Amino acid sequence: MKQFSLEGKVALVTGGAHSIGLAIGIGLGKAGAVVCFNTSKEEHIESGVAAYREAGVEAYGFCADVTDEKAVSKMVAAIKEKVGSVDILVNNAGIIKRVPMCDMSVEDFSKVIDVDLIAPFICSKAVIPDMLEKGHGKIINICSMMSELGRETVSAYAAAKGGLKMLTRNICSEFGGANIQCNGIGPGYIATNQTAPLRERQADGSRHPFDQFIISKTPAGRWGTTDDLVGPAVFLASEASDFVNGQILYVDGGILAYIGKQP
């Protein structure tokens, strides 16, 4: 359907060389967008380009620390010079530090806030002027179920993702009248290489305790996949979502709607 086409659009995905960012970038590319991805390390550009190419998408890699405003401005200018100004921004780069709150240093707390909240502010600020000039733009912030819920050991992450939810709503409030839509995607528990050890069967054939916990809390009865996030991302990047603004789309298999099974 034409309203879902991204032909002629330039997309920037931060942290887009692997995992969720890579899957979303590939999805945007297959929908027609020119894909640019960001990575914090030069050595990841080549492997990222290869991963996109293997999926049938030509992508351009750019290295920048997304917490550095000058570096981000330079990256956005380089993208504009190479392929055109950014129409679609996916603020995907993020980190998590699982440390009990009273054991967590202020430095570690601040680092999570910098990457998960300040960086989306910096990147959005860098692309919005061109979006205003063109009269349209899409910003997609990768939020989390921790934008709604707390959990042990993730005080910094939950604080950042809760803040990102409100930044999403404020960008909508400030720029919605200029035909810029800012929405979020809140992934549930996604099967990635990082979570693979938590999904391995035990020696007796039983599930890992955390795997059991997630399955019991998920009405879908499974972990999500990175591909589960592609359709929502294409929708929020396309004209099909032009009257959707300031919303967080939770792609969680129903966890947030579910109190859990009665014992």
Active site residues: 157
| Cα diameter, the chain | 61
Whether the CB-CB separation of 4 and 238 falls below 8 Å is answered with yes
Please report, for residues 19, 75, 88, 148, 228, the alpha-carbon distance to residue 232 in angstroms, rounded to integers and kept in the order given: 16, 26, 14, 19, 8
Name the nearest CA neighbour of 15 among 28, 26, 30, 25.
25
Burial class (CB in 10 A: 0-12, 13-18, 19+), 83: middle
Quote the distance between the C-alpha of residue 66 and its chain's center. 13
Measured CA to CA, the distance from residue 200 to residue 191 in angstroms comes to: 11
3-class DSSP assignment, residue 207: coil
Please report, for residues 54, 106, 157, 214, the alpha-carbon distance to residue 145 in angstroms, rounded to integers and kept in the order given: 31, 23, 11, 13
Measured CA to CA, the distance from residue 210 to residue 156 in angstroms comes to: 21
What single-letter amino acid sits at 211? D
